[in-house]
Every structure is written in structure tokens, then in C-alpha cells.
Structure 1
Amino acid sequence: MANHKSSLKRIRQDKKKNLHNRYYAKTMRNAVRKLRAMTDKEEAVKMYPSVQKILDKLAKTNLIHKNKAANIKSSLAQHINSLA
């Protein structure tokens, strides 16, 4: 167990941030999964900007790497273009 006041505070803050980050990461994964499962092109095109916004926000806050966000956006765009 930590002995210093500052380390106890750091532990409290880390728990809170971890919970916050897990929520947004999971939300992003679910949104990407949902978009990849879509078969209707019109719906997918409508949903793509919101997923793109989520990915950009997570990359900006360093929750995911900016290249990972770019790769996911690219693969989603390819998926949408492949829909008939």
C-alpha cells in the first residue's frame, strides 16, 4: 500500500481515468463492429462520420495511436465502398 498522500491521490485518479478510457475505447470498438456488420450502403454512409469523429477524438487524446485511427477509418471506407 502506498504511504504518501500524493501516491494515494495518483491511485484514485488513475482508477477514474482508467474507467473513463475503458468506456470510450469499448464504445469505439462497438461502433466499428456495428459499422462493419452493416450491409446497407446508405445506412453505413450515414453512420461513417460519427464513427470517424469517435476515432479522431480517441487519437487526439492518445487513447489510440493516430495511425491506428487512420487504418481503421481506411478499412471502414473500403468496406462501405464494397457494399452494393
Structure 2
Amino acid sequence: MPQHKSCKKRLRQAEKANAMNRSVRSAIRSSLKVIRTAASKEEALKEMPNLFSMLDKAAAKSRAGFNANRAANYKAKAAKVVNALA
């Protein structure tokens, strides 16, 4: 356990960030799963704006380990899956 006041604060901040990052990462993965398991292209296209929005927000705030390049890669992979659907 931390003894210094500043170390205690950093621990609180780290726990808070960890919870937020886990939440964001989980939401992104769930959205990606919806797209990958969609039966039709229309279902996948409905979910795409939601996924793209979450990725952009995560990249803008550097949440859950997402930077601009990683978000762009996720978007490209999602688009590739949607375009492959008939």
C-alpha cells in the first residue's frame, strides 16, 4: 500500500482510468462482434456509425490504448468485413 499522499492519489487515478479503459474496450469489442456476426449487410451498416464514434472518441482521449492509427486500423477491418457481406 502507498504511504505518501501523492502515491495514494496516483493509485486512485489509476484505478479510475483502468475502469474507464476497460469499459471503453469492452464496448468497442462488443460493437465489433455485432458487425462480425451480422447476418446481413444492413445490420452491420447500422452498427458501423456506433463503432466509428466509439473508436474516434477513444483515440481522441487516448483511452483503452487506442491512438489514431489503431482506431483507423479497426475501422478499416470493420469496413472490410461489411464490404464482404452480400
TM-score, with structure 2 as normaliser: 0.88
Q: Which runs of 4+ in 1 moved over 4 A?
A: none
Question: Cα distance, 1:65 vs. partner?
Answer: 2.0
Task: Identify the residue that residue 26 of structure 2 maps to in structure 1.
Answer: 26
Question: Cα distance, 1:39 vs. partner?
Answer: 2.3
**In the TM superposition, what whole-angstrom CA distance separates every residue of 1:34-74 from its partner, at most 9, and x where no partner exists?**
11111211111111111110111111111212111111111
Task: Identify the residue that residue 13 of structure 2 maps to in structure 1.
Answer: 13
Task: Identify the residue that residue 65 of structure 1 maps to in structure 2.
Answer: 67
- Residues 1:78 and 2:63 are matched in the alignment: no
Aligned ranges 1:48-59 → 2 under 5 Å: 48-59=48-59
**Root-mean-square deviation (CA), in Å?**
1.1
TM-score, with structure 1 as normaliser: 0.90
Question: Cα distance, 1:19 vs. partner?
Answer: 0.9
SS of the equivalent of 1:81 reads: helix
Name stretches of at least 5 consecutive residues in structure 2 with no aligned partner.
none
Name stretches of at least 5 consecutive residues in structure 1 with no aligned partner.
none
